[in-house]
Amino acid sequence: MSVAVVFYDSSCVLCSKFVRFVIRHDTNLHFQFAALSSAYVNSLKLPKETVVVVVDKKELLQHHAVRYIVSKLPKLRWVLFFFWITPKPIQKWMYNIVAKNRKRIFARKQCTLGKEYNNRFIS
């Protein structure tokens, strides 16, 4: 089974809430998580997007990271229909708008995720 690491901005409330959402719905334990500000990420030199997914330590997903994440959440696969009917350039445009304005709209705050999920995080 492939393992994917979700890199997220831990100073963004929207990003942290999205990680909580994924943890809650990831019944197959497909994802691990790392904050974009962690030492582990600095060695990888990843782009500072809102959500970046690395699949099997080689495939980097940026703009399509959310679509990939949704595809791996069993109860939410129906949401893929919306990705299917929306052209990819529009998805990328929408992603960029959210990425650029997320901290202004959703505030900046260091969110802590519960200690019960520590085994899912890479530091």
Over range 73-100, report the average pLDDT: 84
Backbone angles phi, psi at 54, to 5 degrees: -115, 120
Max alpha carbon distance in the chain (Å)? 39
Q: Which domains does the chain have, with CATH numbers?
A: 4-115 (3.40.30)
Contact criterion met (CB below 8 Å) for 13 and 106: yes
Average pLDDT, the chain: 80
Q: In the block, which residue shows the tokens 């030492």? A: 39
Q: With bands split at pLDDT 50, 70 and 90, how would you rate the model's confidence at 113?
A: low
Residue in 91, 110, 80, 15 with CA at minimum distance from that of residue 53: 15
Burial of 69 by CB count in 10 Å (0-12 exposed, 13-18 middle, 19+ buried)? buried
- Asked whether the predicted pLDDT for residue 10 surpasses 60, the reply is yes
| Identity of the amino acid at 53 | V
- Rounded to an integer, what distance in angstroms lies between the CA atom of residue 30 and that of residue 43? 23
Over range 67-89, report the average pLDDT: 85
Over range 59-84, report the average pLDDT: 83
Alpha helix ranges (H) inside 1-123: 13-25, 39-44, 65-71, 80-85, 88-106
pLDDT at res. 31: 92
